[in-house]
Structure 1
Amino acid sequence: MSDGEFRLAYVPGVTPAKWVNVWTERMPSVPITLIAVPAAEVVGLLRDGGADAAFARLPFDRDGLSVIPLYVETTVVVAPKDHAVTAADEVAIADLADELLFHPLDDTIEWTALPGLPAFTRPATTADAVELVAAGTGLLVVPQSLARLHDRKDLTYRPVQDAPQSQVALAWPKDATTDLVEDFIGIVRGRTANSSRGRTPAAPAEKPAQRKPQKPAQRRSVPAARKRKGPRPR
């Protein structure tokens, strides 16, 4: 009998497979539904009750949400394979100072100052920006997972060593912290099945009382005064 379902949303580039696999093994009676959602819509989806929890990239508006930061992503620059920035294994922001850089509207990197020179347009999405990079009209700085998601044969990427980094987090509505949400939090945190959701593991069965092993009897020595002297009588 099913206990309902668990609805898990995730933004582009995030791969929830390892946690979903654990859920499927641990909670076979509760199906998990995956919802792919654009980064700009994930918070609204949670607040509207369209998902029980979501993997999203910080920063986002946390109002009314509980958030557990998970891991930090490497920041890379996406460029055509024959571009000069690909000559090095990694680059610095200063190396991009004279480059046209796209800044899509769904960019999740929190910049204090945008690097490079502004491109001729702000694409609506990262996917649109990748298309423009492939056309040779500029470069794009994104989390590495998004560069992998939009991988193309004519493009490559290099780490930007001193760029800000985005962070993936698990989020859910504060007023909807259900038992299933707690179970999923336990999976993400790597808890065992017994410790998930803060449950107290069952006390181990009491072992039968064991007798202490008896010490072997010690031989009493004969006092010297009682030892016979001289030859035994015949």
Structure 2
Amino acid sequence: MAFVRSAAHDQRPEHLHLIPLYEERPVVVVPRDHVVTAFDEVTAAEIADEVLELPDSMPWRDRVAVVAGGAGLSVVPQSVARDFQRKDLAWRPVSDLPSTRVGLAWLREPPGSEPDPLIEEFIGVVRGRTARSSRGETRPPPAKPRERRRGR
């Protein structure tokens, strides 16, 4: 199992199960004194000349460090900007770029095989099921201890 991020319009690969969890908007990370900080949000065209073309394999932390070094701007998911927030950087939403989708993915079982019960139970939790839900293994709730009454 893994948390995955993809463009909101991407189709799920056939070999994976996927539970979409939430969508996230893109933001541009800029030095704190950059002109972009004067706006509540920007468009991709407004920042196109300054956005760096960084390799997809570059870790998020490194992308943010490159921006802090003054090399240019970087567009990242909003949670990444929040996670790697620094005093010398700011971020603003990019209003016309597509959002990304974050989901939980895992491999489909080979044909004829049974799903792993632990994975099925975890998926139930992710989907909001409880021990009293109708799907999955039913376990009775633990018995409550009886109160002893003392004579008066």
1:134 equivalent in alignment to 2:85:
no
**Partners of 1:142 and 1:100 in 2: CA distance:** 11
**Partners of 1:55 and 1:129 in 2: CA distance:** 20
For residues 128-207 of structure 1, the aligned pairs below 5 Å read: 128-175=62-109, 177-195=115-133, 197-199=135-137
TM-align CA RMSD: 2.3
- Go from structure 1 to structure 2 and tell me whether the alpha carbon gap of 1:174 and 1:100 turns closer, same or farther (over 3 Å shift): closer
Q: CA deviation at 1:97?
A: 2.7
**Partners of 1:186 and 1:103 in 2: CA distance:** 38
> Does the CA-based 8 Å contact 2:26-2:78 persist in structure 1?
yes
SS at match of 1:101: coil
**Partners of 2:103 and 2:20 in 1: CA distance:** 4
Q: CA deviation at 1:64?
A: 2.2
Identity, in percent, stands at: 53
**Partners of 1:141 and 1:129 in 2: CA distance:** 9
- Of 183-192 and 71-80, deviating more is 183-192
- Structure 2 unaligned regions, length at least 5: 141-152
Structure ID, larger Rg? 1
Q: CA deviation at 1:193?
A: 2.1
Counterpart residue number, 1:67? 18
For residues 1-234 of structure 1, the aligned pairs below 5 Å read: 53-58=1-6, 62-106=13-57, 124-175=58-109, 177-195=115-133, 197-199=135-137
Q: Could you state the TM-score of these two structures normalised by the residue count of structure 1?
A: 0.51
> Does the CA-based 8 Å contact 2:131-2:138 persist in structure 1?
no
Hey, which of these two has a bigger chunk of helix by percent?
Answer: 1
SS at match of 1:91: coil
Q: Could you state the TM-score of these two structures normalised by the residue count of structure 2?
A: 0.76
- Go from structure 1 to structure 2 and tell me whether the alpha carbon gap of 1:55 and 1:165 turns closer, same or farther (over 3 Å shift): same
